[in-house]
Amino acid sequence: MNIVIIEDEQPARERLEGLLTDLIPDCKIVAHLDNVKEAAKWFANNPAPNLVMLDVQLADGTAFDLLKLARIECPIIFTTAYSKYVLNAFKTTSIDYLLKPIKRAELEHALEKLAEFRQIFSKPDIATPSKTIIPATPEYKKRFIIRFGEHIKTLGVENISYCSSENKTTFARSFDGGRFPMDFNLDSLEQMLDPRDFFRINRQFLISLKAIDEMKMFTKARVIVKLNPPVKEPPIVSSERAADFKLWLSGDFP
């Protein structure tokens, strides 16, 4: 992975480089830049890296001044001592917004998100059509990192009963009753989890096959699904997903 660090404070830059090389031993820091003018010139004359670590406050302006001058066609992780720029940051190609001093666990989490997004949005190389492209076997998630303030734990996919969307926040429910906030919405989780084991029954629920405790007909086509752990109002398979749901239950893929 080629990485560009744009940071005007040497101690912060050295700490960040140390964390990156520790977390990604085979990464290459291809440039150290500390001001808007120098960075804009670099991006105009070099291919895009795989990642940019971008400080918001630079010697001669801000990161957003740079983004007006240079076209940065790669993911960005912002680093700053100020939280007030977070909304501006998420209007860009940012993966995360980390407050200084950068914590190892938070940087690791941001890099894991980057790896997951690259997996989801990766496309086959079509630059050499003369070669036969053999589809790769999909790689599905095995575990997620869960953060509770300063606390971090892992949640294995095999322990997830279902994921649900509540008030624009996504939660995973484990078989032992745990309830965990997720960094991904249901659309993203649907792509990350093995479709042999998980199915999106409606807009609010993505369920594991093992979570189904009981099913009852609601209408001719729709089904009420009682889950384990139970939900106060058992979800109903949407009419658009009903036919695919029956295929999934039988072991066939929609």
Tell whether 104 and 156 lie within a shared domain.
no
pLDDT tens for residues 85-139?
666 665 666 778 888 888 999 999 989 888 887 776 655 554 545 444 545 556 7
Q: Name the helix (H) or strand (E) containing 52.
A: strand 51-55
Number of domains in the chain: 2
Q: Residue 167 pLDDT > 90, yes or no?
A: no
pLDDT, position 126: 47
Measure the CA–CA gap between 20 and 11, rounded to whole angstroms: 14
Amino acid at 181: P
Q: Which residues contact 205 (CB under 8 A, 6 or more apart)?
A: 162, 163, 164, 165, 235
Structure tokens given for 22: 């520790």
Which domain, by its residues, includes 97?
Answer: 2-121
Q: Are residues 38 and 110 in the same domain?
A: yes
Q: Establish if 45 belongs to a structural domain.
A: yes
Query: At 203, which CATH number?
Result: 2.40.50.1020
Q: How far is CA 140 from the centre of its chain?
A: 13
pLDDT over threshold 70, residue 213:
yes
Q: Tokens 């106060």 — which residue?
A: 232
d(CA 121, CA 136): 14
Band (4; pLDDT cuts 50, 70, 90): very high
Backbone angles phi, psi at 233, to 5 degrees: -120, 100
Residues 163 and 236 in one domain: yes
Same domain, 52 and 108: yes
Q: Average pLDDT in the 168-186 region?
A: 92
Q: Would you say 171 and 179 are in contact if contact means Cβ atoms under 8 Å apart?
A: yes
Distance CA 111, CA 104 (A): 11
Q: Which of 67, 86, 121 is the last residue of a domain?
A: 121
Q: What is the pLDDT of residues 67-90, one digit of tens each?
A: 888 888 888 998 888 766 666 665
Residues 242 and 153 in one domain: yes
